[in-house]
Amino acid sequence: DNPAGAVRYAVCTGGQRYLRGKVPAEAVATEIVTKAGMAVGPANVHNEYQIDPTVPIDVAAPIYVEDVVLFGFNSVKVEEPFLPILDLGTLLLSQNPNVRITIVTRTDAVGSDATNLEVSQQRGQAVANYWIKKGIDQSRITIDARGEADAKDSDDAKAAALNRRAEFIITGLLG
């Protein structure tokens, strides 16, 4: 749920934002919940923070987006059903100048490591290009192409299809 080991973080799935981890005081939690609510609507924010006075207040808090963009086999084209996810990213980036997004792209394990890494990079660039065409400065977008690293069992067609994806990590929104 929190691969980077952040003290506090959020998970975004199905339009809902789950704020998790530790904050130093209830006032800090309230401030973050309010800020997140302005971005996605207050009813879509779930405060799951734990209060721990020893936690520093100025730590970065990434948002891990569980909603992903899936790609066809050996394809780098963003398909129509996934455009609403990218449009939410456009809105988030447009309204919040401090926000940065890392696009983590993966492939299945079919093909060579070098080919899969290249396809993964191209998938990330396809997503980045979508936002750049919408007026987002490319300096706010990072591509983390991982190729087939951490690929699930590609002998299973369903697992292989889920490996062909772009995931998103948002920073700069929650501090």
pTM: 0.79
Per-residue pLDDT at 135:
97
> How confident is the model over 51-60, as pLDDT tens digits?
989 887 765 6
Q: Give the integer Cα–Cα distance in Å for 17 and 36.
A: 8
Per-residue pLDDT at 60:
65
Mean pLDDT over each residue of the chain, to the nearest integer: 87
Q: Using CA of residue 47, residue 53, residue 56, residue 58, what is the dihedral sign?
A: positive
Per-residue pLDDT at 121:
97
Question: Is pLDDT above 60 for 16?
Answer: yes
CA-only gyration radius of the chain, Å: 17
Q: Give the integer Cα–Cα distance in Å for 9 and 123.
A: 26
Percent of the chain whose pLDDT exceeds 90: 45
Per-residue pLDDT at 59:
59
Of 172, 40, 171, 68, which Cα lies nearest the Cα of 127?
68
> How confident is the model over 132-174, as pLDDT tens digits?
999 999 999 999 999 988 776 656 788 888 889 999 988 887 6
Question: Is pLDDT above 70 for 22?
Answer: yes
User: In which band, very low, low, confident or very high, does the pLDDT at 4 lie, cut at 50, 70 and 90?
Assistant: low
Q: Is 126 helix (H, G, I), strand (E, B) or coil?
A: helix
Question: Is pLDDT above 60 for 3?
Answer: no
β-bridge mates for residue 13, sequence order: 16
Question: Is pLDDT above 90 for 125?
Answer: yes
User: In which band, very low, low, confident or very high, does the pLDDT at 113 lie, cut at 50, 70 and 90?
Assistant: very high
